[in-house]
Amino acid sequence: MSEESVDFLSVLEAGRLIGAIQEEEDIDVVNKRILTVYSKDNKELCWFDFDEVMTDVGAVEEGDRMDAVRGYIIQRIPSWVKEL
Protein backbone atom coordinates (compact mmCIF):
# COMPACT_ATOMS: atom_id res chain seq x y z
CA MET A 1 0.00 0.00 0.00
CA SER A 2 1.44 3.40 -0.94
CA GLU A 3 0.94 6.59 1.01
CA GLU A 4 -0.80 9.48 -0.69
CA SER A 5 1.46 12.45 -1.36
CA VAL A 6 0.42 15.70 0.28
CA ASP A 7 1.22 19.09 -1.20
CA PHE A 8 1.74 21.95 1.23
CA LEU A 9 1.12 25.66 0.87
CA SER A 10 4.10 27.98 0.88
CA VAL A 11 4.83 29.54 4.25
CA LEU A 12 3.79 32.92 2.84
CA GLU A 13 0.44 31.62 1.56
CA ALA A 14 -0.26 29.68 4.76
CA GLY A 15 0.57 32.75 6.82
CA ARG A 16 -2.02 34.75 4.90
CA LEU A 17 -4.72 32.14 5.63
CA ILE A 18 -4.09 31.28 9.27
CA GLY A 19 -5.97 33.29 11.84
CA ALA A 20 -5.42 31.11 14.89
CA ILE A 21 -4.06 27.80 16.12
CA GLN A 22 -6.09 26.55 19.06
CA GLU A 23 -5.30 23.66 21.41
CA GLU A 24 -8.50 21.68 21.94
CA GLU A 25 -9.82 18.35 23.16
CA ASP A 26 -10.39 15.69 20.51
CA ILE A 27 -14.14 15.04 20.73
CA ASP A 28 -13.68 11.51 19.41
CA VAL A 29 -10.85 10.33 21.68
CA VAL A 30 -10.84 10.70 25.47
CA ASN A 31 -7.77 12.47 26.95
CA LYS A 32 -6.45 13.40 23.50
CA ARG A 33 -5.43 16.93 22.46
CA ILE A 34 -5.32 18.41 18.98
CA LEU A 35 -4.18 21.69 17.51
CA THR A 36 -6.93 23.08 15.27
CA VAL A 37 -5.97 25.62 12.62
CA TYR A 38 -8.54 28.32 11.85
CA SER A 39 -8.65 30.82 9.00
CA LYS A 40 -8.81 34.55 9.54
CA ASP A 41 -12.59 34.32 9.10
CA ASN A 42 -12.74 31.63 11.85
CA LYS A 43 -13.28 28.66 9.53
CA GLU A 44 -11.66 25.38 10.60
CA LEU A 45 -8.95 24.52 8.08
CA CYS A 46 -7.23 21.42 9.46
CA TRP A 47 -5.90 19.92 12.67
CA PHE A 48 -2.72 18.33 14.01
CA ASP A 49 -2.15 15.74 16.73
CA PHE A 50 -0.83 17.66 19.75
CA ASP A 51 1.55 14.92 20.94
CA GLU A 52 3.04 14.37 17.49
CA VAL A 53 3.67 18.09 17.01
CA MET A 54 5.28 18.44 20.43
CA THR A 55 7.52 15.42 19.75
CA ASP A 56 8.56 16.80 16.36
CA VAL A 57 9.16 20.32 17.70
CA GLY A 58 11.29 18.88 20.49
CA ALA A 59 12.77 20.67 23.47
CA VAL A 60 12.21 24.40 23.18
CA GLU A 61 12.49 27.04 25.87
CA GLU A 62 9.11 27.79 27.44
CA GLY A 63 8.93 31.33 26.07
CA ASP A 64 9.70 30.14 22.52
CA ARG A 65 7.33 27.15 22.41
CA MET A 66 4.35 28.93 20.81
CA ASP A 67 6.51 30.35 18.03
CA ALA A 68 8.14 26.96 17.43
CA VAL A 69 4.76 25.22 17.20
CA ARG A 70 3.38 27.91 14.89
CA GLY A 71 6.48 27.66 12.69
CA TYR A 72 6.15 23.88 12.52
CA ILE A 73 2.46 24.03 11.61
CA ILE A 74 2.72 26.87 9.09
CA GLN A 75 5.14 24.75 7.05
CA ARG A 76 2.66 21.86 6.97
CA ILE A 77 -0.66 23.37 5.91
CA PRO A 78 -2.01 21.10 3.17
CA SER A 79 -2.87 22.76 -0.13
CA TRP A 80 -6.38 21.26 -0.05
CA VAL A 81 -7.41 23.82 2.61
CA LYS A 82 -7.85 26.34 -0.21
CA GLU A 83 -10.79 24.24 -1.43
CA LEU A 84 -12.72 24.59 1.85
pTM: 0.88
Q: CA-to-CA distance for 18 and 1, rounded, in angstroms?
A: 33
Neighbours of 19 (CB within 10 A): 13
**Alpha-carbon distances of 74 from 1, 16, 26, rounded to whole Å:** 28, 10, 21
Give per-residue pLDDT as tens, 23-75: 999 888 889 999 999 999 999 999 999 999 999 999 988 889 999 999 999 99
Nearest one of 12, 72, 33 to 64, comparing CA atoms: 72
Q: CA-to-CA distance for 72 and 55, rounded, in angstroms?
A: 11
